[in-house]
Chains A and B, each alone.
Chain A
């Protein structure tokens, strides 16, 4: 049976009305926050110390923190740096499922390396690793979707570092998604181990002076908004009622910066991420970010770029990153997104057919080696039956 369109249709007007109201409120709140940014921005030290004092009482505080300059600054598009080696990595995974013939998972990480302003073809590399739960006696955790995703994130960054080792400088490496490694799992020991590995990899980039960054498309984070709300809360001239109202409205940072970053390629100043998790990334590896307008038209389209502090501290590296990210987005025309990241995604993607193929290969090999024949679950078998004309 299809969904009950009659019921849905009745709900749509109310849904749209509430969504529209919420958007209006968020835009109004964004305006207030923008005013605060203009007013308080020139005093980055004051805002930074506000974050520090707040974090003394609020251990779970997560917000932006000014980084070396006024948060209200806007930086125009710098000159395009020519002759750069760009490397991007992306990963995809097959999550374990007991409904398949064989319970397994797989991580596929692809890298692509391009030399800008050159007609030499790109270099591509794909690494596929089957994961299993066979060595649980060693005290390792069951493979869950979150652990696999964490492992994939680490492998992506590791693959980038390995590829960067064989390339010529200047180098810029990029992944899709934040640089901050964060996944919900219950295994603190495992997380600690993986985090240590990740930090070692990030240190590898630092040693080689290879720019590494994460690109977040259509970001919905509210780190800067939280910083500004904190400022409003501590500003005695504002009334508390206004603050209370603001607290209930979630304002995405892009709503604050949309009217600010008007020109193609404009970026905000750099912010540091203050969070309980980001404290693991210290000093040169402190996690930072900026917003950039990657649109080529009058209507801004903002993306967030995350980078380590050592890159953010260098104006020339920052300029290179800003210019290259924008240039990569320009390639994709009216739907800006870094070309190289899309290519990495294309290369890494595991299709449904490939998953089925791999499942059959494993089942056949196990049968050949004397294991009993594995079957898909009855539930999966029923789901795979031809349907009655409904597209699933």
Chain B
């Protein structure tokens, strides 16, 4: 698990409930699905979010190259490194840090274009996921257009590892129990989430 903040990319567009950042294809720090990230908005305000989509657009040239029988390595490197096509990372906002205090409320205003996106450190993941009573799950469960089950499974897997690192294996069990409670009246979503979680297996 990481211990220092890693810059991932910069914001392209945003709203209160989510934002999209752009980063280079060749970037070694490319986040994965479910990663907890943060964006400093102003001096004492940060937005926290979960990566729910990583999107790469094509263009006419890429389409044409894709049909080519063989692509030399220099052409692949040129396209990945020097063509103006950022990888778009979509993030759902799940909380904020205001004057140093973490909460699962939305930030008062969204981050703006070209703000820097950071991957949260293991400590930040632990701090965020133990603040309050896992209230940030409501943001995810409300977002019907997202692959909720998969996103929760991916996030919980990463958070479980962060908590295990600090000797807290019970966190995962508590988080699962909380999800069951939240979804007790929504059987289809509960089944989808539990199915995804069952695929995680033991750490």
Contacts and interface: CB of A to CB of B under 8 A. Distances in A.
Do A and B originate from a single complex? Answer: yes
Nearest to A118: B74
Contacts of A124: 82
Interface in A97-125: 112, 114-122, 124
B81 A122 contact: yes
B72 A122 contact: no
Interface residues of A, number: 23
Contacts of A339: 65, 75
A367 interface: no
B142 interface: no
Interface string B56-71: 0000010011011111
A333 B77 contact: no
Contacts of B64: 332-335
Interface in A271-306: 296
A331 B76 CA distance: 11
A334 B77 CA distance: 21
Contact of B61 (A114, A327, A330, A346): A346
A120 B67 contact: no
A333 B82 contact: no
A342 interface: yes
- If over half of B's interface residues share one DSSP class (helix, strand or loop), that class is named, otherwise mixed; here it is helix
A122 B70 contact: no
A333 B69 contact: yes
A61 B161 CA distance: 80
Nearest to B70: A330
A323 B99 CA distance: 64
A343 interface: yes
B78 A330 contact: no
B73 interface: yes
A358 B26 CA distance: 32
A343 B78 contact: yes
Ordered nearest first, which 9 A-B pairs have the shortest CB separation?
Answer: A121-B81, A333-B68, A119-B73, A122-B78, A333-B67, A121-B77, A119-B77, A114-B74, A122-B82
Interface of A: 112, 114-122, 124, 296, 327, 330-335, 339, 342-343, 346
25 contacts: A112-B78, A117-B72, A117-B73, A119-B76, A120-B74, A121-B81, A122-B74, A122-B77, A122-B78, A122-B82, A124-B82, A296-B69, A327-B72, A330-B69, A331-B65, A331-B72, A332-B68, A333-B65, A333-B68, A333-B69, A334-B64, A335-B64, A339-B75, A346-B61, A346-B83
Interface of B: 26, 61, 64-65, 67-78, 80-83
Given A116-B72, A119-B73, 18 more contacts: A112-B78, A114-B75, A114-B78, A115-B74, A117-B74, A118-B74, A121-B78, A122-B74, A122-B78, A331-B65, A331-B71, A331-B75, A333-B67, A333-B68, A334-B64, A334-B67, A335-B64, A339-B75
